[in-house]
């Protein structure tokens, strides 16, 4: 177990942590602090609430305490960029709390208050400056601040920055920073746009990640195809003919099902291997080695067997069967989003699995877009439900699957071949926003929310705006204070 004393942090900082009541580092702190203490750049995937503020603040305070320097006028040694005034204020509070036993100054600047107040605070220079990008550029343009002395840069909640339209401000700020600096970059999600932004800020970064289960889902581009059980194999073969799929994991619910898929693919001339609980260790290793080497681009797996699979570069996940445990879905698709990568997940859904799909959407709070079947491809007999709206699905259950079975309206898993996984649990999350979609779920793609779009919840955010350095007005959503 890692302790705060293992990091080599200065005594006054350890004393402050004890006063805060922190007993041991959180996972993001345990991962980030050693790299940051070495002076390395860090690219972290972490959400608010994981303790990421301390993950960057503690090593920064340590470094400042070990190399005291006189403050320079209109200047700072550390710059923390954050998207909102609330977050900026909280970050500044954290620096002050963890640095309470050090003689360091922390100032926070954001739009919406008179700029002369910030100009006064910066006149004699500060150690740590926490800023929203717009106000920072305003101060620079008024020659009230220079970034020439910045030794450490933190970019926090990068994905929110982009959502709020700060991309141009960030691109400009990066040109004003000294090249010789340490940079720490954090985002809750890491789609391509964010990783490209990260590259412009970072030099040979260490990658760290703590991803709550539901967040993984946001990094993966997902789709669902409605198809009957009898047509799934044919559909898989059509999907796999796409040569842009270079490494694909196909999930089946049962061991028997996995073997059957492999046999059928073999007949179709597609090389694949199965990995599941009935395979011996040497057989598994052989299959994995071929998959890693790229000699076998299709690996068919059950959920349990897949847990041990840690293969980089899985471009696609195909859910041949949807899992009856929604968490398994997130773990499955997460195989294609390792180390911040993004990937594609395609799910085949028959009538009976629609209930599973709804539970998945409840858990992830995302609506899985429907992908039309390839042109001319028949879905096969889908029962009466195929042509009915999803709302009907929520009222009625698939024939033969009454609520009595598992208390959640799920088909009971009576297949003796099914590998045992975690027990289902009840989710009491909000109903998916797609309830009542017309067209039997075969909705046109443009009717779907963008990939990764969260369903609205809680208090409505308030619109705010700030004057940007280039004369434009920047608007953002004030989501209110974070929960502590
Ligand atoms: P953050 O994700 O940085 O907003 O932190 C979330 C909350 O966790 C804040 O209230 C912190 O004060 C608290 N916190 C951060 N690190 C620790 C720790 N190691 N032990 C206990 N609480 C912590």
For the stretch 242-260, pLDDT in tens is 877 889 999 999 999 999 9
pLDDT at 251: 96
Average pLDDT, the chain: 79
pLDDT at 159: 83
Residue whose CB lies within 8 A of the most ligand 1 atoms, among 9, 54, 55, 186, for a mutation test: 54
Do residues 174 and 101 both lie within one domain? yes
Q: Is 53 in the pocket of ligand 1 (CB under 6 A)?
A: yes
Among 9, 17, 26, the mutation site with the greatest number of ligand 1 atoms within 8 A of its Cβ is 26
Only one residue has tokens 């011996």, namely 280
The reply to whether ligand 1 has any atom less than 6 angstroms from the CB of 26 is yes
- The pLDDT of residue 305 is 67
Average pLDDT over residues 374-395: 59
| Shared domain check, 198 and 268 | no
327-336, 379-388, 434-443, 455-464: range with lowest mean pLDDT: 434-443
Instruction: From the CA of 4, give the closest atom in ligand 1.
Output: 19
Question: Which residue in this structure is represented by tokens 């920072």?
Answer: 136
Is 22's C-beta closer than 6 angstroms to any atom of ligand 1? Answer: yes
Closest C-alpha to ligand 1, atom 14: 51
pLDDT at 277: 74
H-type helices in 21-156, by residue range?
27-38, 52-66, 85-98, 115-122, 133-141
Give the integer Cα–Cα distance in Å for 300 and 262.
7
Of the CA atoms within 13 Å of residue 217, those in its CB half-sphere come to 23
CB of 49 within 6 A of ligand 1: the answer is yes
Output the pLDDT for position 143.
97
Kindly report, residue by residue over 339-355, the tens digit of the pLDDT: 445 689 999 999 999 99
Residue 304 CB neighbour total at 10 angstroms: 17
pLDDT for res 424: 36
Q: Which atom of ligand 1 is nearest to the CA of 23?
A: 20
- Domain hosting residue 138, numbered range: 4-209
The pair of structure tokens assigned to 379 is 């879905």
Q: Kindly report which listed range (11-15, 27-31, 218-222) carries the lowest average pLDDT score.
A: 218-222
Q: Closest Cα to atom 6, ligand 1: which residue?
A: 49
Given the CA of residue 50, which atom of ligand 1 is nearest to it?
Answer: 2
Q: Are residues 195 and 118 in the same domain?
A: yes
pLDDT at 66: 97
Task: Tell me what percent of the residues of the chain surpass a pLDDT of 70.
Answer: 74
Ligand 1 mean position to 90 CA, how many Å?
A: 11
pLDDT for 403 beyond 50: no
Contact 230, 380 (CB under 8 A): yes
pTM given for the model: 0.52
Residue 133 domain flag: yes
Beta strands 462-467; 473-478: pairing state: antiparallel
User: How many Å from the N-terminal Cα to the C-terminal Cα in the chain?
Assistant: 25
Report the range out of 138-142, 252-256, 334-338, 383-387 with the highest average pLDDT.
138-142
* Assigned domain for 326 exists: yes
Q: Which residues pair with 187 in a beta bridge?
A: 45
Ligand 1 site, residue 52, Cβ cutoff 6 A? yes
At residue 215, the pLDDT reads 58
Q: Tell me, yes or no, whether 427 lies in a domain.
A: no
Q: Tell me, yes or no, whether 67 and 204 share the same domain.
A: yes
Query: Which CATH number does the domain housing residue 66 bear?
Result: 3.40.50.300
Centre of ligand 1 from the C-alpha of residue 406, in Å: 38
Same domain, 53 and 110: yes
95 pLDDT band, cuts 50/70/90, is very high
Residue with CA at minimum distance from ligand 1 atom 5: 51
Q: Among 321, 347, 381, which residue terminates a domain?
A: 381
The answer, yes or no, to whether residue 169 has pLDDT greater than 60, is yes
- The domain boundary residue, chosen from 345, 361, 381: 381
Cβ of residue 372 lying under 6 Å from some atom of ligand 1 = no
pLDDT in tens, 406-452: 322 233 333 333 444 333 333 333 333 333 333 333 333 333 333 33
Our count of domains for the chain comes to 2
pLDDT for 397: 28
Residues 95 and 183 reside in one and the same domain: yes
């Amino acid at each position: 177990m890692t302790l705060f004393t293992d990091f080599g942090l200065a005594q006054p900082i350890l004393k402050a942590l004890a006063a805060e009541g922190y007993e041991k580092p959180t996972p993001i702190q345990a991962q980030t602090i050693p790299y940051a203490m070495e002076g390395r750049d860090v690219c972290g995937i972490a959400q608010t609430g994981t303790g990421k503020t301390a993950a960057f603040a503690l090593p920064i305070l340590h470094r400042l305490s070990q190399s005291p320097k006189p403050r320079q006028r209109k200047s700072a040694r550390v710059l923390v960029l954050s998207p909102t005034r609330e977050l900026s204020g909280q970050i500044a509070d954290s620096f002050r709390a963890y640095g309470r036993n050090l003689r360091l100054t922390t100032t926070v600047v954001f739009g919406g208050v008179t700029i002369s107040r910030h100009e006064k605070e910066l006149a004699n220079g500060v150690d740590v400056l926490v800023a929203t990008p717009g106000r920072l550029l305003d101060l620079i343009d008024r020659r009230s601040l220079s970034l020439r002395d910045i030794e450490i840069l933190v970019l926090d909640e990068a994905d929110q920055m982009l959502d709020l339209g700060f991309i141009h401000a960030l691109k400009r700020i990066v040109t004003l920073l000294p090249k010789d600096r340490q940079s720490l970059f954090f985002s809750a999600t890491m789609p391509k746009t964010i990783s490209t932004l990260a590259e412009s800020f970072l030099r040979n970064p260490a990658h760290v990640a703590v991803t709550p289960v539901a967040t993984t889902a946001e990094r993966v581009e997902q789709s669902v195809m409605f198809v009957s059980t009898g047509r799934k194999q044919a559909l898989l073969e059509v999907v796999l003919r796409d040569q842009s799929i270079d490494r694909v994991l196909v999930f089946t619910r049962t061991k028997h099902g996995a073997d059957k898929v492999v046999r059928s693919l073999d007949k179709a001339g597609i090389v694949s291997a199965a990995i599941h609980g009935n395979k011996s260790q040497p057989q598994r290793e052989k299959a994995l080695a071929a998959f890693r080497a790229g000699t076998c681009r299709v690996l068919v797996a059950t959920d349990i067997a897949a847990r041990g699979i840690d293969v980089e570069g899985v471009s696609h996940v195909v859910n041949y069967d949807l899992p009856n445990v929604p968490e398994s879905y997130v773990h499955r698709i997460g195989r294609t989003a390792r180390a911040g990568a993004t990937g594609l997940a395609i799910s085949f859904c028959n009538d009976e699995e629609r209930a599973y799909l709804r539970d998945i959407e409840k858990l992830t709070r995302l609506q899985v877009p429907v992908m039309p079947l390839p042109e001319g491809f028949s879905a096969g007999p889908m029962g009466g439900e195929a042509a009915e709206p999803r709302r009907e699905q929520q009222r009625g259950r698939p024939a033969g699957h009454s609520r009595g079975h598992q208390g959640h309206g799920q088909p009971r898993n009576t297949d003796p071949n099914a590998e045992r996984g975690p027990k289902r649990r009840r989710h009491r999350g909000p109903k998916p926003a797609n309830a009542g979609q017309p067209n039997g779920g075969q909705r046109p793609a443009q009717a779907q929310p963008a990939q990764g779009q969260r369903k609205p919840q809680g208090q409505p955010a308030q619109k705010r705006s700030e004057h940007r350095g280039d004369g434009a007005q920047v608007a953002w959503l004030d989501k209110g204070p974070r929960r502590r």
